[in-house]
Amino acid sequence: MGSPLTVLPHSGRDASEPQGSSEVPEPWREDARATIRTLAELERVLRLSDEERAGIEACARAGLPLAITPHYLSLCDPHDPSCPIRRQCVPSSREQHVAKGELLDPLGEETYTVAPHLVSRYPDRALLLVTDRCALYCRFCTRSRLVGQGSGAVRLQELEPAFAWLDAHQEVRELIVSGGEPLLMSESRLDALFAALAERPHLDDVRVASRLPVTLPSRITPALCRSLRRLPSLWLMTHFNHPKEICSASARACAQLVDAGIPILNHTVLMQGINDDPDTLTALFRGLVRMRVKPYYLLQGDVIVGSSHFRTPLEHGLQLMETLQGRLSGIALPKFVVDTPGGAGKVPLEPRYLERSESGQHTLRTFRGERVTYPDP
């Protein structure tokens, strides 16, 4: 019997083809090259507030760089600094404020690093960080301590210790490939990486994390889909935060992936003033389902340094989930999750629907607020 990760035959170009060797430049590379990276470039297209200008100047000196793709920029309101798309990508001076309890490495990934570029926080999963590059640097990034530092894609040889660790830990069943943006790597690099993963038959599935359907949708090409299909048990985890991010280009990108047989999950980070109201989340989750993308997690903001202007009170997230429970079916409703500071793992949170249990009689509160008794057998 073949392993779950058997590599499918490659029905495209030669996997050894070096990056950028095609005669006609691929449109996504042109889009990536047009990324805005400086204050001067951004000022030409957006009317910046003082807070934004100070934020850009600060990040030019240190920290998470500025990078905004032309596609994502086209979704921003050029006149409104409170635009929910703009706030996700334009630096703000508020990033310089470090609130109590905030951490450089909020999920303790350094502590749980088991080999270079490999993190293991759960018995059955591991996280492989294959690049520090992103198309766009999200201002709330959990890995702001390491993305955009200029190292680029990790060479396959450098991942050998990580592969050796995986070989010695057959209990690991799922590998999350993240970064940075793994899908900014060339197809030939991805093919080589997937071939190496296919040699680890104890992996039931590989989850590739990518925000490119949202930030650089032109990257989703037939050639990329063919590379992803080489691992038949590959899932894509993408990251839409707002219904404005659902547009013809991102819908086309998701359709290509799903039509190629790649299931897509989405995680959304709950953020103050961006998506922390029931109408925005309802529109977002319904829009995702229409694109055949499953809303998987609604994440409470991680305690990242300089993120207090994004984070919402925990109780607010629970209230939102309660409202959404009455509005959305299970296919559209994600789990509300807190990734605990320090790396102790994710904790799912639910509004309290079981109000009382006594002598085998349970009082349940429905989404309409009715109390219903459920008797045990």
CB burial string 84-118: b at 16+ within 10 A, e below: bbbbbbbbbbbbeeeeeebbebbbbbeebebbebb
- Token pair 């940075």 in the structure block, residue: 180
Cβ-based nearer residue to ligand SF4, 83 or 135: 135
Q: Supply the angle between the helices 187-198 and 222-229 in degrees, to the nearest 10.
A: 10
* Of 94, 125, 145, 292, catalytic: 125
- Taking CB under 6 A as the rule, does residue 85 contact ligand SF4? no
**Least CB distance to ligand SF4 at residue 359 (A):** 49
Residue 346 known to be catalytic: yes
**Least distance (Å) from ligand SF4 to the CB of residue 133?**
8
How many CB atoms are closer than 10 A to CB 255? Answer: 15
Of 89, 141, 225, 254, which one is the catalytic site residue?
Answer: 141
Q: Catalytic annotation on 76? A: no
Closest residue by Cα to residue 109 from 124, 129, 135: 129
Residue 129 binds ligand SF4 (CB under 6 A): no
Select 127 or 328, whichever has its Cβ closest to ligand SF4.
Answer: 127
* 137 in contact with ligand SF4 (CB under 6 A): yes
Our answer to whether residue 230 is catalytic in this structure is: no
Burial of 193 (0-12, 13-18, 19+ CB in 10 A): buried
**Which of 59, 129, 138, 216 is the binder for ligand SF4 (CB under 6 A)?**
138
* Residue 180 near ligand SF4 by CB under 6 A: yes
CB-count exposure of residue 175 (10 Å: 0-12, 13-18, 19+)? buried
Q: Is 122 a catalytic residue?
A: yes
β-sheet bridge partners, residue 208 = 177, 236
Catalytic annotation present for 105: no
CA 367 – CA 348 distance, rounded (Å): 19
Residue among 66, 83, 115, 134 that touches ligand SF4 (CB under 6 A): 134
Does 143 engage in binding with ligand SF4 (CB under 6 A)?
yes
Residue span 194-233 as binding mask against ligand SF4, x where in contact by CB under 6 A, dash where not: -----------------x----------------------
Does 141 bind ligand SF4 (CB under 6 A)? Our answer is yes
Active-site residue, selected from the candidate residues 143, 211, 229, 244: 143
- Catalytic annotation on 368? no
Q: Which of 59, 83, 89, 134 is labelled catalytic?
A: 134
147 is a contact residue toward ligand SF4 (CB under 6 A): yes
Tell how far CA 215 is from the center of its chain: 11
Nearer to ligand SF4, 127 or 231 (CB): 127
In this structure, how many other beta carbons lie within 10 angstroms of the beta carbon of residue 335? 15
What is the distance in angstroms between the CA of the first residue and the CA of the last residue of the chain?
43
**Active-site residue among 13, 145, 327, 346?**
346
Q: Is the distance from CB of 265 to CB of 236 less than 8 angstroms?
A: yes
Indicate if 89 belongs to the active site.
no
Q: Quick one: CA dihedral 81, 84, 90, 92, positive or negative?
A: positive
Q: Of 87, 121, 211, 229, which one is the catalytic site residue?
A: 121
Q: How far apart are CA 48 and CA 39, in angstroms?
A: 9
Q: Is 115 in the site for ligand SF4 (CB under 6 A)?
A: no
Interacting residues with ligand SF4 (CB under 6 A): 134, 137-138, 141, 143, 147, 180-181, 211
Catalytic residues: 121-122, 125, 134, 138, 141, 143, 302, 339, 346
